[in-house]
Amino acid sequence: MKPVKDYINLLPQEEKKSSPFATWGVLLTMLFILAWLGLLGWQARQYALSQNRFVTLSAQKQALRQQMDALRKELAIVSPTGMTRDKAALIQDILKERVQWSQVFKQLSLIVPKGLWFDYLEGIADGKAQIRIKGGALSYLSIADFMRSMEKSGYFEDPQLSYAQKAVVQGQDMVGFEIICGMKKAQEAR
């Protein structure tokens, strides 16, 4: 049975129609939500990829830093943290100016002929590295051989004889001498 109001109402009953705007509105809202979710997913994927790339680059940076530290140790380059490039360059310039005395003594030991000895050896550093050698020899020929060997060695530059003087010591003839020559740095001498 019908309710009473249906009998009292004199107006015809309205048909329930769906509005075309409501249907399109729901579709557009759903489309917007899907697009928004798609963009959110794409952003999440990009973030994950960038995080992976960051981790990879951090590992590469760490490996390169370890290699650089190993090379610095091998090359005896001291570079404490916080050192500027200018300070490091200044230290490298100072180290280049150093004379490696162990190499100088090694070279001298290889070229000293028999019958020649050193009494005095002095390093001079007024502008360029030089060495002054005072000693004795049994003959002038030993001194000449020594100076020729110095020129050929590659470690000594322009050896000059300051003096060579014959003397008699304990009944034996000997020649006292003094030689001054420049020295090449280790990297120049090769």
Displacement of CA 115 from its chain's centroid (Å)? 47
Q: How far apart are CA 117 and CA 175, in angstroms?
A: 10
**Do 103 and 179 belong together in one domain?**
yes
> Which regions of the chain does DSSP assign to beta strands (E)?
116-126, 128-137, 156-169, 172-183
Q: What is the pLDDT of residues 122-170, one digit of tens each?
A: 887 766 788 999 999 999 999 999 999 999 988 888 899 999 999 888 8
Q: How far apart are CA 55 and CA 60, in angstroms?
A: 9
Name the residue range of residue 39's domain.
Answer: 23-77
Domain membership of residue 179 (yes or no) is yes
Q: How far apart are CA 104 and CA 98, in angstroms?
A: 12
**Do 179 and 108 belong together in one domain?**
yes
Q: What global pTM score does this model have?
A: 0.48
**Do 114 and 173 belong together in one domain?**
yes
Q: How many domains does the chain have?
A: 2
The CATH code of the domain that includes 129 is 3.30.980.50
| Residue whose structure tokens are 């990297």 | 187
Segments of the chain with pLDDT less than 50: 187, 190
**Residues in the chain, overall count:** 190
